[in-house]
């Protein structure tokens, strides 16, 4: 009896530890995102996101660029948890007020439109953080870029991190070494820096983000010598005395709204707009140079790499399982209220100048 009891206990312990190991394994694997997460609960989610963006593009050719930037600025701060979308409230210090975001991030109204369409089709199912991942892929493919299977199943966070946004997001002025360190801090590498910078193949930037190159670069009293002189004169006209906050121009001067590899060919003619763009090729000895060169000569290689790096960026510390929540309103944590009844919408009064028309 004693032997049989011991044997049963031992067997039981074995089964329990086996279950612990198995559930640990499955625990990790169920915490992973996958492409079919909504196939049972919101099978049309991708088409709904895409068609809302198609509509927005009719009046705003920049919107796709603005939406992918939201995903980037979300993922780099406390992971891809929709933290960027939260407005100021009693409990939230909004990341929208961080230096890299203020007067610059835009498209929040379209995120809300997507959320409304999804709540109508499948209430309470799709997270705001997944909306940003889906909107990024739709925006890129609608602009002529690659498609990829978006991994899904993120849940929305309950907090924002204003100081994290100020310290974690890269600045165009800080040099490739420091920018690479910010990517490394979230599990991305030098290849990802170059590949994802290729998102600057569409969208706009304000004078304040490149005027450091125009008149007194880095305290030299002269413009940035790596800036194409033709582009330099247009930009100096566009941004006199360093320019106005409401003036923006195209990041890609050759094909402003298309997703292609011209960002990289522009760098070869010294036509990168931001200091951080041109440095990828012009910083002597930088490990980024051969990557730029191969993407400039082979768009397929860029497109394949872009899909992989986007999936990698979208995997930064997602909340899964029962962590976080599915927000009803992307601007507000469920059950809380916002102090901002009317959302500040930056960019509505801005002027875009196409340099080729100057």
Ligand X SMILES: *[C@@H]1O[C@H](CO)[C@@H](O)[C@H](O)[C@H]1NC(C)=O
> Which among 73, 115, 154, 204 is annotated as catalytic?
73
213 binds ligand HEM (CB under 6 A): no
Helices 275-282 and 289-297: angle between axes, nearest 10 degrees: 100
Residue 197 contact among ligand X, ligand HEM, none, beta carbon within 5 to 8 Å by kind: ligand HEM
Q: Is there a contact between 118 and 125 (Cβ–Cβ < 8 Å)?
A: yes
**Is position 79 annotated in a ligand binding site?**
yes
Counting contacts by CB under 6 A, is residue 179 touching ligand HEM?
yes
Binding span for ligand HEM by CB under 6 A among 26-34, 40-48, 58-66, 260-268: 58-66
Alpha helices in the chain (DSSP H): 2-30, 45-59, 63-75, 108-121, 128-142, 162-168, 175-184, 190-197, 229-238, 262-268, 275-282, 289-297, 299-314
Find the binder of ligand HEM among 45, 53, 68, 160 (CB under 6 A): 68
Minimum gap (Å) between residue 44 Cβ and ligand HEM: 26
Q: Which is nearer to ligand X, 147 or 218 (CB)?
A: 218
Read off the tokens for 198.
């290729």
Distance CA 167, CA 98 (A): 9
**Which residues between 94 and 133 bind ligand HEM (CB under 6 A)?**
104, 106
- Tokens representing 115 are 């959320």
d(CA 109, CA 117): 12
Residue 323 CB, nearest approach to ligand HEM (Å)? 25
255 is in an annotated binding site: yes
- Of ligand X, ligand HEM, none, which one sits near residue 66, judging by CB under 5 to 8 A according to partner kind? ligand HEM
According to the binding rule CB under 6 A, does residue 273 interact with ligand HEM?
A: no
In whole angstroms, the minimum distance from the beta carbon of 220 to ligand X comes to 8
Q: Which residue in the set 134, 165, 199, 319 belongs to the binding site for ligand HEM (CB under 6 A)?
A: 199
Integer angstrom CA distances of residue 62 from 56, 120, 201: 9, 26, 11
Sort strands 351-353 and 247-250 into parallel, antiparallel or unpaired.
Answer: parallel
Q: 283 labelled as ligand-binding?
A: no
β-bridge mates for residue 74, sequence order? none
CA 312 to chain centre: 11
Q: Residue 354 binds which one of ligand X, ligand HEM, none, with CB within 5 to 8 A depending on kind? A: none
Q: Is the dihedral of CA 54, 56, 57, 63 positive or negative?
A: negative
Indicate whether 62 belongs to the interface with ligand HEM (CB under 6 A). yes
Respond yes or no: is residue 71 known to be catalytic: no
CB 92 within 8 A of CB 333: yes
Q: Taking CB within 5 to 8 Å according to partner kind, which of ligand HEM, ligand X, none is near residue 242?
A: ligand X
As annotated, the active-site residues are 73
Q: Which residues are annotated as a binding site for substrate?
A: 170
Contact residues for ligand HEM, defined by CB under 6 A: 62, 65-66, 68-69, 72, 104, 106, 170-172, 179, 193, 196-197, 199-200, 202-206, 209, 251, 274, 276
């Amino acid at each position: 009896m004693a032997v049989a009891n011991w044997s049963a206990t031992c067997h039981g312990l074995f089964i329990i530890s086996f279950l612990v190991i198995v559930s640990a394994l499955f625990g990790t694997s169920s915490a992973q995102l996958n492409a079919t997460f909504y196939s049972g609960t919101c099978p049309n989610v991708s088409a709904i996101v895409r068609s809302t963006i198609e509509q927005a593009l009719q009046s705003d050719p920049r919107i796709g660029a603005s939406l992918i930037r939201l995903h980037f600025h979300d993922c780099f701060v406390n992971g891809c948890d929709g933290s960027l979308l939260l407005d100021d409230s009693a409990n939230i210090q909004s990341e929208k007020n961080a230096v890299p975001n203020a007067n610059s991030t835009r498209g929040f109204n379209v995120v809300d439109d997507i959320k409304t369409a999804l709540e109508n089709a499948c209430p309470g199912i799709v997270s705001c953080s997944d909306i940003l991942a889906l909107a990024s892929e739709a925006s890129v493919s609608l602009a002529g870029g690659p498609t990829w299977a978006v991994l899904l199943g993120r849940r929305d966070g309950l907090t924002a991190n204003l100081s994290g946004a100020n310290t974690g997001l890269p600045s165009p002025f800080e040099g490739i070494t420091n920018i690479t360190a910010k990517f490394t801090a979230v599990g991305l590498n030098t290849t990802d820096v170059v590949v994802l910078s290729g998102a600057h193949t569409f969208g706009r930037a304000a004078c304040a983000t490149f005027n450091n190159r125009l008149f007194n670069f880095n305290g030299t009293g002269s413009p940035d010598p790596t800036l194409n002189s033709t582009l330099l004169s247009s930009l100096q006209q566009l941004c006199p005395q360093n320019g106005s906050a409401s003036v923006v121009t195209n990041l890609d001067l050759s094909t402003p709204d298309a997703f292609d590899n011209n960002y990289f060919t522009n760098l070869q003619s010294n036509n990168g707009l931001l200091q951080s763009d041109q440095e990828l090729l012009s910083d002597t000895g930088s490990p980024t140079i051969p990557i730029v060169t191969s993407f400039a000569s082979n768009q397929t290689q860029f497109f394949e790499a872009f899909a992989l790096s986007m999936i990698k960026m979208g995997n930064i510390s997602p909340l899964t399982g029962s962590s976080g929540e599915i927000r009803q309103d992307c601007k507000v944590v469920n059950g809380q209220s916002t102090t901002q009844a009317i959302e500040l919408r930056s960019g509505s009064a801005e002027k875009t100048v196409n340099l080729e028309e100057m």
